[in-house]
Amino acid sequence: MRAWLFTILRNAFYSQHRKTRRELEDPDGHYAGRLWTPPEQHGRCDLADMLKAFSELAGEHREALILIAAEGLSYEEAAQVCGVPLGTMKSRVHRGRMRLAELLGGEDAEDLNPDRMMQAAL
């Protein structure tokens, strides 16, 4: 039993010694104050901004964008689902994308093509 306890004590001492070699003494916190990493939540912030802007769209534009961009329906299928003419559906999608680009501070609606919208949502 004595040899076993001695071995545990010796290993604990070595572990503590190795740990203190890697540590720096920083009593005033100056060195620790300079260490920082940039936040890694940009994707989450982008998604929150996108959802907030999306909620500010008119209901018909939001519905059109969900059907076309998220569900992947064609304009014809989306027009049938909503019970509106094809031209009306195209107009709603275009106006919805333009308004969303305006709310997000983008250059134009090309910033909001379906692939980019799905990337922002993920």
The CATH number of the domain holding residue 65 is 1.10.10.10
Count CB atoms within 10 A of the CB of residue 86.
Answer: 13
Q: Does 110 map to a domain?
A: yes
| CA atoms of 9 and 15, how far apart (whole Å) | 10
* Residue 14 resides in a domain: no
What is the domain range of residue 106? 43-121
Whether residue 48 lies inside any domain: the answer is yes
User: Is pTM, for the whole model, over 0.75?
Assistant: no
Please tell me the number of Cα atoms within 13 Å of 11 on its side-chain side.
Answer: 6
One pLDDT digit (tens) per residue for the chain, 122 residues? 889 999 999 999 999 888 887 777 777 877 777 777 766 677 677 778 888 888 888 889 999 999 998 888 899 999 999 899 999 999 999 999 898 888 888 655 555 555 555 555 44
* Number of domains into which the chain is organized: 1
In the prediction, which pLDDT does 117 show? 52
Q: Is 26 exposed, middle or buried (0-12, 13-18, 19+ CB in 10 A)?
A: exposed
Contact between residue 53 and residue 100 where contact means Cβ atoms under 8 Å apart = yes
Q: Exposed, middle or buried: residue 99 (CB in 10 Å: 0-12, 13-18, 19+)? A: buried
Q: Is residue 23 part of a domain?
A: no
In this predicted structure, what is the pLDDT of residue 26? Answer: 77
Residue 112 covered by a domain = yes
